[in-house]
Amino acid sequence: MSKGGRPFEAVNLAVLTISDTRTTENDTSGDYLAEQASAAGHKVLARDIIIDDIYKIRAKVSALIADESVQAILITGGTGFTQRDSTPEALTPLFDKQIEGFGELFRYISYKEIGTSTVQSRAIAGMANKTIIFCMPGSTGACKTAWEGILKEQLDSTHKPCNFAPHI
């Protein structure tokens, strides 16, 4: 399938859930992201749940960044303000470049849905070793907001005027 002459290219991605309480039986956010990515034609190469520990998150993501077959990592959870929420602190040092617009746009879209509560979102994104990393809140609603409002188009190589496919 293509739009405007650009061929569709599937993205090889990993889905990670950062949580001290989620399991494979109740990880609706990770399930949602994996299902949507697959339905869009992308390949989910890895799926995991990591406890909210800076060094365990960093170790897992570093291994995925080093894996040349992984082009994108979708991370849900650990972006709030509790003492255990540490995804931004874990991943920011790994980024070669930050994608400030992701968090800004996520909060803009989210504001329309949840009002000022969106200020508590620390959604971030960045590039590391030609791997794009998107970090969003742990709720399934937030994952839907990010997928429908940003990720679906930005991971689609046919989306114009630009998308992240040429950079990964």
Which CATH number belongs to the domain containing residue 120 in this structure?
3.40.980.10
Q: In this structure, is residue 62 part of a structural domain?
A: yes
Is residue 90 domain-resident? yes
Is 136 within the bounds of a domain? yes
Q: What is the pLDDT of residue 120?
A: 85
Q: What is the pLDDT of residue 41?
A: 97
Q: How many domains does the chain have?
A: 1
Does a structural domain hold residue 60? yes
Q: What is the model's pTM? A: 0.94
Q: Is residue 107 part of a domain?
A: yes
> Greatest CA span in the chain, whole angstroms?
48
User: Contact 64/14 with Cβ under 8 angstroms?
Assistant: yes
Residues near 65 by beta carbon (within 8 Å), at least 6 away in sequence: 73, 94, 128, 129, 131, 133
Residue 1 forms part of a structural domain: no
Query: What tens digit of pLDDT does each residue of 102-128 get?
Result: 999 999 999 999 989 888 899 999 999
Look up the domain containing 159 and give its range.
Answer: 7-167
Q: How confident is the model at residue 17 (pLDDT cuts 50, 70, 90)?
A: very high
pLDDT tens-digit map of 37-84: 999 999 999 999 999 999 999 999 999 999 999 999 999 997 888 788
Domain assignment present for 141? yes
